[in-house]
């Protein structure tokens, strides 16, 4: 802040100096002409010195007032500042945006996040869900994919939505250090972090600290920041993939959509499945209001129902009371693993939404927190095509439970050989 103030003071001083110089060049000559009487002047005939022309004093403030706007004019904005200012202007009314080639295959909601980072994600989803946004004149769903050249009509956006606060160098440094401490893999295109349990991926009602916000500290010279490629629930720990460039975001999004990305989760569940290795195939649909929404098993054809497929395997058990499961989701539906384990009668320990076993007591020493970890992810590198294979360690509360139950994380994981489709 001090640096900014000194810059403004310096600019103001140089501006005032410029004003004085401009005043002399424009005003002194007329003033002398008024002060010098003609040969027939009565003052000269009487032998009296002419009085100083009052025009000099009266016009001096006016001259300064005329030149002050030039002195106070802002410095030339950077490219990123100009882009932000343009977004603010556009956000005041209806506008039509054209999808750029490097934005092809982006989800509609992600497209809006990239174009209007100052708007809350929940507000963006609400706009799309209400049908206020049109793609080539038609209503769109948040998950619809865009094609290059398509025209997206945006309704007037609410300018009172939360905006990013000005960031200090100390905050940026602190966020960079935190992200570095949880980084599992990084290169110029890809960042994979070990997301802690309790840290939201994106902002929402009452959420001020989240991964998407932390990524603000990584904006480049063009104002672009890394992009989320997929999401994890707030209380799910583990591998989270982030694209550092638009190209990487587009390429890796295709990998997730085509199901070539390999994901393995670990969970601690209540009871032991009778079938030690199996699959869960259902349709899932959202029910409830935003914030309290959960996924329910639905039938094919039900409104909002999407197919969800999960493979699972039992790695170890504890006295038929608890089981350590390895899970491989083929599809990527909201709360898919949490809803599927509950559907087969073995909800995940510590799940506040889907744990529905009555009179079930939490074993001593085990914390009542969601025991779900995005353990491993294998994804093709966006440029080389070579696989990036990353594994996340157990979060502290799950490590405590595994130690208590005597589970050995070096055990063979049978889910590795599970089908991909």
Residues carrying an active site annotation: 233
Structure tokens at 172: 């940026």
Question: What's phi and psi for 5, nearest 5 deg?
Answer: -65, -45
Burial class of residue 124, CB neighbours in 10 A (0-12, 13-18, 19+) = buried
- CA dist 117 and 105 (Å) reads 19
- Rounded Cα–Cα distance for residues 14 and 26 (Å): 18
First to last CA, the chain: 55
What lies within 8 Å, CB to CB, of 218 at 6+ separation is 176, 179, 225, 226, 244
Q: What is the DSSP string of 222-241?
A: TS---EE-S---TT-EEEEE
Q: Please check whether residue 149 is in contact with residue 114, taking contact to mean a CB–CB distance below 8 angstroms.
A: no
Distance (Å, rounded) from C-alpha 420 to C-alpha 240? 20
Cα separation of 89 and 276, whole Å?
Answer: 59
């Amino acid at each position: 802040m001090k640096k900014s103030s000194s810059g403004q003071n310096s600019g103001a001083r140089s501006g005032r100096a410029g004003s004085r110089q401009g005043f002399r060049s424009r005003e002194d000559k007329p003033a002398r002409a008024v002060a010098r009487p003609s040969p027939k002047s009565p003052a000269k005939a009487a032998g009296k010195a002419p009085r100083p022309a009052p025009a000099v004093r009266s016009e001096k403030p006016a001259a300064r007032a005329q030149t002050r706007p030039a002195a106070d004019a802002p410095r030339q904005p950077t490219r990123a500042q100009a882009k932000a200012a343009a977004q603010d202007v556009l956000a005041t009314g209806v506008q039509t945006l054209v999808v750029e080639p490097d934005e092809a295959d982006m989800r509609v909601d992600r497209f809006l996040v990239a174009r209007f980072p100052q708007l809350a994600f929940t507000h963006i989803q609400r706009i799309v869900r209400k049908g206020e946004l049109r793609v080539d004149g038609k209503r769109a769903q948040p998950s619809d994919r865009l094609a290059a050249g398509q025209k997206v009509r945006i309704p007037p956006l609410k300018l009172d939505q939360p905006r990013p606060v000005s960031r200090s160098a100390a905050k940026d440094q602190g966020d960079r250090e935190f992200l570095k401490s949880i980084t599992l893999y990084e290169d110029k295109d890809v960042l994979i972090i070990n997301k802690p349990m309790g840290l939201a991926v994106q902002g929402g009602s009452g959420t001020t600290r989240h991964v998407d916000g932390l990524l603000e500290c990584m904006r480049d010279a063009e104002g672009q920041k890394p992009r989320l490629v997929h999401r994890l629930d707030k209380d799910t720990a583990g591998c989270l993939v982030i694209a550092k460039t638009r190209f990487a975001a587009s390429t890796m999004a295709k990998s997730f959509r085509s199901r070539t990305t390999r994901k393995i989760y670990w969970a601690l569940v209540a009871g032991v499945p009778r079938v030690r290795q199996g699959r869960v195939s259902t349709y899932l649909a959202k029910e409830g209001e935003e914030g309290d929404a959960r996924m329910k098993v639905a039938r094919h054809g039900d409104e909002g129902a999407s197919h969800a497929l999960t493979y699972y395997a039992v790695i170890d058990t504890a006295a038929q009371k608890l089981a350590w499961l390895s899970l491989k989701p083929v599809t990527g539906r909201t709360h898919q693993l949490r809803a599927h384990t509950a559907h087969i009668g073995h909800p995940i320990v510590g799940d506040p939404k889907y744990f529905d076993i009555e009179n079930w007591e939490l074993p001593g020493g085990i914390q009542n927190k969601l025991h779900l970890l995005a353990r491993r992810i294998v994804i093709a590198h966006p440029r080389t095509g070579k696989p990036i294979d990353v594994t996340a360690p157990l979060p502290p509360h799950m490590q405590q439970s595994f130690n208590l139950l005597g589970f050995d994380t070096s055990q063979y994981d049978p889910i590795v050989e599970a089908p991909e489709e």
